[in-house]
Structure 1
Amino acid sequence: MDDAYDGHETGTDTDRRHGLDRRRVLKTTAGGAAGLSLAGCLGTAGSIVGGNDVEPVTIGVLAPNPDSDSTGRSIVRGAQIAVRELREADGINGRDVEMVVGDTNSSSLEARRQYQRLILEEGADVTVGISTSEALVELMDDIAEQQTLHLTAGAATTTASQKVNEEYETYKYHFRVGPINGSNLAQAQIDFLSEKGADIGWNSVAVLAEDYDWTKGLWAFYQSHFDDLDIDVTMWDRYPPATDDFSSIYDDVEASGADAAFISTAHTGTAALQDWGPAEREFAFGGIHVPMQLPSYYRLTDGACRFAVGYASATETSKLTSETQPFVKSYKDTYNGRSPVYTGFIAYDAVKLFARAANETKTTDSEKLVGKLEDMSFTGTTGKIAFHGPDHQYAHDVIYGEEYVHPVYFQWQENDDGGGSQEVIWPDQHAPDDAKYLDPNWF
């Protein structure tokens, strides 16, 4: 894995917000949750920006296992870079900016505990993060209760945005900065197959998806839209959670005659990959594969992902906007050459988006910022960020489209030095002129 989360700046103070002491280190929380060793403060509370002795703006960051999980680590690091840039500029509304981190431990219960701690003990003005749909769904009522903005960076479930649409006044404090939601992810998959499938020889596919909450909307979308494609679906399989042996599934894929296994996987992705490439299965492989987004995945799998096709909000070589490559450079310069995964791009955008909204409205009050975020657009690292309005089915979700946030599809290919690189192959406007899909060499 990449190197662990490697440090933070801390400060001390005894000021109070919301009537509670502010902690600069994490402590044991109610219910017996252990305090985190990575603590999570960037900035010194009570420090002076512009010569004014005022409370800093506090960014609360929720991330799973930042010391060991790549998506969680990238959330923290992406947010850290944004906070550092804000502190080096004018802060937010002339106030310094600090960051506090809560480790959700990939648990819905712990996510709720850490969220409450960030709001009630650390006095967070906004929270950013949450990379799993299950945790976000459980957190929605807490966000509603605290009436504090939460900007999701990682979870794709449509449940959150549907709650905003159905009970706006209760759930309006939630916005998804990225990735695009499960239904939009499905649309991106459909668009990729429609525009690129014939070019790469994927005229028939076996549609596979792990049976987790985040694929519910995606799966329903597939089933209602695949009939519109000039691509045959040879089999459907929403396979059980925690599947770790795909041999029988892949036997069925081969028997169906599919040109490719078109998969949607996060939790079971590496097992699905290892049973494909090293076994030299007689079909191509690709789709939404969260582990494959990891820049070091080629090395981590000893090249097993070669020829596999994946989706990402952005990659280290993509140039989606004028902001993409500067962020990648800053990330690599800061973290010993390591590259961000998709959550890092989104967390960075979320913090910068919040800062822009707060600076333009001259407030960090969540009630006032809701309307501002609904009306604004923002050039982030993953595209132009704007949100669906309250009346939309997916209220407060980032808009998917060519002029907005649009994911890229890449293929893992071997490079000249024997390593691997994520070569963007779609959409054409984001692919290099010499981009070329390669058939697996065992075909």
Structure 2
Amino acid sequence: MANDGNQRGTDANEAANDLGSDRRTFLKATGLGATGVAAGLAGCTGPSDGDGGDGGGGGDGGGGEIPETIRVGALGPAEAPFGSSILNSAELAAQEINDNGGVGDKGATIEVTTGDTKDDPGTARQRYGEMTSGGDAAHVTTGIFGSEQLLALMGNIADKETVHLSTGAATPEAPAKLQDNYERFKYWFRAGPVNSTFLGDSLVQYAAERFEKMGWEKVAFVAEDFKWTEPVTQTIEDRLADEAGVEVTSVRRVAEGTEDFSPIYDQLESEDIDGCYTALAHIGNTSLVQWAKQKRPFGYGGIHVPTQLPSYYEATKGAAIATFSQTTATPTSEITEKTVPYANAYKENYDKFPVYSGYSTYDAVYMLKKAIEEAGSVNGDDLVTALEEMSHTGTSGQLEFYGADEEFPHDLKYGPELAQGVYFQWQADSEGEGVQEVIWPDELATTEYKSPPWV
């Protein structure tokens, strides 16, 4: 296939215009503010070494019995779907629990306080300090979408001795703090998603089980140059070729702010690849739109966070067709008996489906209920013990935490009998509407992978 570099550059500009006029229009269509995309679409932005400070003074981690009202603080960027899913799901779970007898023998009610972090570390610390201080301080907290925000709060969580279940950020640096100082940081747990170290394992497993049927014999890997993709890229370099039985023609890390993927795609075409395997979030929109507009002659997908949005197909005017991605769950994936009912209840209440952070937050609130009942109190140390021993069937799988002496203390366990997520592909239904069809694993698949219509 002949390439014209000038024409490709023109197509790249036209792609941005045709698929939503410009970046701001696209963000408005999907409900994502600029910060939501640039600072944390994957909940896995760059590292922060800060300890988080004291957040306005230490706390006592709650009392030694179940109060009549249990205060849960939920944190997330309210204007982005990855944040609103956190806040809404916490309230939805609380309402369900309250409507079904509350918590414990005396039926304690759950009261949710929400904090808009604006996906900014300083704002997140301020909101956290407000909701964990004073006479109405939260007994437990959940949420936090961006990894920068989570890492900035780790010291605050430790000082308050108040249990926090993370439900958006994927950084493995959080459990690393527990490895270094378990007693100080033990109040942190992750209810989802699985950390980014496991994402590389997932990509290799999917490739080993699906690439042959997909016709992907020659593959290039493209990752954004952010910290969360470092362990993913290393795994791809070390294992993909041997374990999936494919030729890996190249591995690229693309810089933040890249606006023209045409030179990259020209090179991939020259490598005669069958598929472009991805680990993209912050620059995923630009990459996908130009791939589709230019009708590049290879498949596209892997981990692509923007395409996880249930509104993404419509927002991109169908450009997402045939792209695929890993995610925690989809509205129709029956991971457990709780997955689809939760997604439908969310849509009934909020007129849209949740994204991955919503599933994890909904699970987190139910896990906190279970832990409080088991502990008989909201005391931080008591809840830590209850959560460490817990196995809970949630919307995203069988949820358990790694122990204090394991590699990722208090992180969500990853595996086929635990939490491993699904891979879906955007396909068009009989009316031309985009549908997130599950293509992996076998027991949850609703269809098979389809090549892009122009390939």
Alignment of 1:71 with 2:82, yes or no, is yes
Pairwise CA distance, 1:2: 6.0
User: Is the 1:74–1:340 contact (alpha carbons within 8 Å) kept by the matching residues of 2?
Assistant: yes
Alignment of 1:85 with 2:96, yes or no, is yes
Per-residue CA deviation, residues 313-333 of structure 1 (Å, 9 max, x unaligned), is 000110000111111121111
> For 2:410, what is the secondary structure of its paired residue?
coil
TM-score when normalising by structure 2: 0.83
Equivalent AA in structure 1 for residue 226 of structure 2: Y
Sort the Cα spacing of 1:2 and 1:219 in 2 relative to 1 into closer, same or farther, 3 A.
closer
Q: Note the residue ranges of structure 1 that are not aligned, 5 or more in a row.
A: 5-29, 32-52
Query: Percent identity at matched positions?
Result: 39
What is the 5 A alignment of 1:24-423?
Answer: 55-64=68-77, 66=78, 68-93=79-104, 94-121=107-134, 122-229=136-243, 230-336=245-351, 338-423=352-437
> For 1:178, what is the secondary structure of its paired residue?
coil
Equivalent pairs, count: 392
> For 1:277, what is the secondary structure of its paired residue?
helix
Q: Match for residue 439 of structure 2?
A: 425
C-alpha distance in 2 between matches for 1:306 and 1:402: 28
Alignment of 1:441 with 2:453, yes or no, is yes
C-alpha distance in 1 between matches for 2:276 and 2:160: 43
Q: Note the residue ranges of structure 2 that are not aligned, 5 or more in a row.
A: 1-28, 33-54, 57-65
> For 2:88, what is the secondary structure of its paired residue?
helix
Per-residue CA deviation, residues 182-218 of structure 1 (Å, 9 max, x unaligned), is 0111111111001111111112221111122322332
User: Is the 1:157–1:217 contact (alpha carbons within 8 Å) kept by the matching residues of 2?
Assistant: no
Pairwise CA distance, 1:219: 2.4
User: Is the 1:59–1:125 contact (alpha carbons within 8 Å) kept by the matching residues of 2?
Assistant: yes
User: Is the 1:383–1:405 contact (alpha carbons within 8 Å) kept by the matching residues of 2?
Assistant: yes
Higher helix share: 2
C-alpha distance in 2 between matches for 1:116 and 1:215: 31
Pairwise CA distance, 1:55: 4.6
Pairwise CA distance, 1:92: 2.3
Q: Match for residue 14 of structure 2?
A: none
C-alpha distance in 2 between matches for 1:361 and 1:259: 54
C-alpha distance in 1 between matches for 2:269 and 2:94: 50
> In angstroms, what is the RMSD of aligned CA positions?
1.8
Pairwise CA distance, 1:220: 2.8
> For 1:367, what is the secondary structure of its paired residue?
helix
Per-residue CA deviation, residues 288-332 of structure 1 (Å, 9 max, x unaligned), is 111111111110000000010111100011000011111112111
Pairwise CA distance, 1:3: 7.4
Sort the Cα spacing of 1:216 and 1:148 in 2 relative to 1 into closer, same or farther, 3 A.
farther
User: Is the 1:133–1:214 contact (alpha carbons within 8 Å) kept by the matching residues of 2?
Assistant: no
Equivalent AA in structure 2 for residue 360 of structure 1: E
> For 1:275, what is the secondary structure of its paired residue?
helix
C-alpha distance in 1 between matches for 2:319 and 2:365: 35
Pairwise CA distance, 1:151: 0.6
Per-residue CA deviation, residues 370-413 of structure 1 (Å, 9 max, x unaligned), is 11111110000000000111111111111111110121111100
- Flag the structure with more relative contact order, 1 or 2, with Cα contacts below 8 A and sequence separation at least 6: 2
Equivalent AA in structure 2 for residue 156 of structure 1: A
User: Is the 1:412–1:421 contact (alpha carbons within 8 Å) kept by the matching residues of 2?
Assistant: yes
TM-score when normalising by structure 1: 0.85
> For 2:212, what is the secondary structure of its paired residue?
coil
**Shift >3 Å, 4+ stretches:** 1-4
Sort the Cα spacing of 1:436 and 1:269 in 2 relative to 1 into closer, same or farther, 3 A.
same
Pairwise CA distance, 1:71: 0.5
